Structure 1
Amino acid sequence: MRLPQIQIRTTDIQMDLQIHNPKQHIEQPKATQTIQQPAAILDINTTRGQLKIDSSQARRDLGLIGPLESSRNYAEKGKQELLKGISRRAGEGRQLMESAGKGQGRAPIQSIAKQNHGPKRAGPYNIKFVPSIGSVKIDYTPGKTDVNFTPQKPKIDVQVNKPIHKYTPGDVTGTMIQRPHVEIDVVG
């Protein structure tokens, strides 16, 4: 006995698809940044140094003295010469008194005259440095310098910019070119 057979034929669907891809654009702008560096604060305080020079002794050595001191010096020198003159005359009087009446005649007066009016020898010659060494006195007090430095922190301002995001979604459109089809036949 013969059994009937079934034949099945299929036709696939055919489509024409129009595919538009999605588009995406992402951009990250740079951050907006401002930086300022304020100048440091610099404070300098100084105390002046003091230089004292005393040249009065050097001026005296050169003979440059003021009128008051000059008057005092001349008065002192006159007083000393007066005392020397008194002393000399007292000595001469004592010398005359001791030799008086001894039959010397004029001999004591002549010896006193020779003492006073004979050639006098000058003192030894030597080199003298004018002004004398160490006659200028110098006193120096150094000054001070105080430096205060205060750094300033930088001022930084940052603004973060949001990313720019553009998205265009994709699209698919299709047209059916051939419809699907199934044929079933029974063969005997």
Structure 2
Amino acid sequence: MEIPMLAMQSIPAKISLTTIPASVKMEQPEADLKIEQPEAELDMSVTPSKLTIDQTKAWEDLDRKHIFKRIEEAAQKGRQDVLDGIARAADEGDELMRIENGGNPIASQAKRNAAHHPIELGKNFTPSLSRVKVDYTPSELHINVTPHKPVIQAAPRKPIIDYTPGNVKVDMLQYPDLKIDVVYPKKA
């Protein structure tokens, strides 16, 4: 007995894939930015320096004195001369009072009072630098700065995004097929 056979013939399916890639375009516009820097307030004040030179003592050493100083010295000298004259008169009176002790007090007093004392003219001294008084107060600089913060105005802008999605297209190039035949054996 002969058993029939099955004969199969298959045609595979064929597909075609067409892809369209996705695309993304991004653009970032610059932000609107405005910056202002106000100037700082600057306040400066200067205390002037002060220089004082006192040459009074140096000029006095050269005998170039102020009139008030000369008047004061003349008054002191006059007072001293009066006191010296009073003392001399008292001494001479005491000498005359003791005439009995001997000697010739009148002649000796006349000789003493007639003697001339030398007068000094053109007397100059060189003043020392220590006689000049110098006083200096340096100047002072005061600076006051008031800074101001910058004024910043920023307006951000959103990015511009252009997105095209991708796609896949599937096409059937060949449909599958299966043929099954029953083959009977040949009789001999």
- TM-score by length of structure 2 reads 0.59
Q: In the alignment, which of 171, 179, 184 is matched to residue 183 of structure 1?
A: 179
Alignment CA distance shift 1:99-1:166 (3 Å): same
**How far apart are residue 159 of structure 1 and its match?**
5.4
8 Å Cα contact 2:61-2:126 kept in structure 1 = no
RMSD: 4.4
Structure 1 portions without partners, runs of 5+: 123-127
Tell me the distance in 2 between the aligned counterparts of 1:27 and 1:40: 39
Alignment of 1:7-156 (within 5 A): 7-26=7-26, 55-99=55-99, 107-118=104-115, 130=127, 133=130, 135-136=131-132
Match for residue 125 of structure 1? none
8 Å Cα contact 1:10-1:181 kept in structure 2 = yes
Tell me the distance in 1 between the aligned counterparts of 2:53 and 2:33: 62
- TM-score by length of structure 1 reads 0.59
For residue 73 of structure 1, give the secondary structure of its aligned residue in structure 2.
helix
Structure 2 portions without partners, runs of 5+: 120-124
Match for residue 172 of structure 1? 168
8 Å Cα contact 1:59-1:131 kept in structure 2 = no
Q: Number of matched residues?
A: 179
Identity of aligned residues (%): 37
Alignment CA distance shift 1:131-1:171 (3 Å): closer
Paired AA for residue 109 in structure 2: I
8 Å Cα contact 2:62-2:126 kept in structure 1 = no
**How far apart are residue 146 of structure 1 and its match?**
6.5
8 Å Cα contact 1:61-1:132 kept in structure 2 = no
